[in-house]
Chains A and B, each alone.
Chain A
Amino acid sequence: MGHIFNLIFVFPLLNLLVFFYNYIPDIGVVIILITVLVRLLLLPSFHKSLKHQRALTALQPKMHEIREKYKDDKEAQARATMELYKVHKVNPLSSCLPLLIQLPILIGLYQVFMRSLNGKELTGLYHFIHAPAVINPIFLHWINLAHRNIIMAVIAGVLQYYLSKISLPPTPTTDQMSKMLSYQTLYFLPLITIVFGAQFPAGLTLYWIVTTLFGIGQQYYILHKETKEALAKA
Chain B
Amino acid sequence: MEVIKLISRILALPLVLLVLIYQKTLSPDHGMLKPWFPYGYCKFYPSCSEYAVQVLRSQGIIGLPKILKRLISCRPGVAPAIDKP
Q: Which residues of A approach B to under 8 Å, CB–CB?
A: 45, 53, 56, 63, 74-75, 78-79, 82, 85-86, 91-100, 164, 167-169, 171, 178-179, 181-182, 184-185, 188-189
Contacts of B80 in A (CB 8 A): 82, 85, 91, 93
Given contacts A45-B76, A82-B80, A85-B80, contact A93 B35 (CB under 8 A): no
CB distance from B83 to the nearest CB of A (A): 10
Contacts of A86 in B (CB 8 A): 79
Contact of A188 among B32, B37, B40, B78 (CB under 8 A): B32
Contacts of A99 in B (CB 8 A): 28, 41
15 new A-B contacts at CB < 8 Å, known A93-B40, A178-B34, A185-B35: A78-B45, A79-B82, A82-B45, A93-B39, A94-B37, A95-B76, A97-B71, A97-B74, A98-B76, A100-B71, A168-B36, A171-B35, A181-B32, A181-B35, A185-B33
CB distance from A150 to the nearest CB of B (A): 25
Q: Which of B34, B80, B82 neighbours the largest number of chain A CB atoms within 10 Å of its CB?
A: B80
Verify if B42 is at the interface (C-beta below 8 Å from A).
yes
CB distance from B43 to the nearest CB of A (A): 4
Chain A, residue nearest B41 (CB): A94
B36 touches A95 (CB 8 A): no
A122 and B35 alpha carbons, distance in the complex (Å): 42
Chain B, residue nearest A172 (CB): B38
CB distance from B47 to the nearest CB of A (A): 8
Contacts of A85 in B (CB 8 A): 80
Verify if B5 is at the interface (C-beta below 8 Å from A).
no
Contacts of A92 in B (CB 8 A): 39-40
A91 and B74 alpha carbons, distance in the complex (Å): 13
B82 touches A82 (CB 8 A): yes
A168 and B28 alpha carbons, distance in the complex (Å): 13
Contacts of B78 in A (CB 8 A): 95
CB distance from A101 to the nearest CB of B (A): 9
CB distance from A109 to the nearest CB of B (A): 17
Verify if B81 is at the interface (C-beta below 8 Å from A).
yes
A96 touches B48 (CB 8 A): yes
Contact of B35 among A78, A94, A169, A188 (CB under 8 A): A169
A184 and B33 alpha carbons, distance in the complex (Å): 10
Contact of A94 among B32, B43, B45, B71 (CB under 8 A): B43
A86 and B79 alpha carbons, distance in the complex (Å): 9
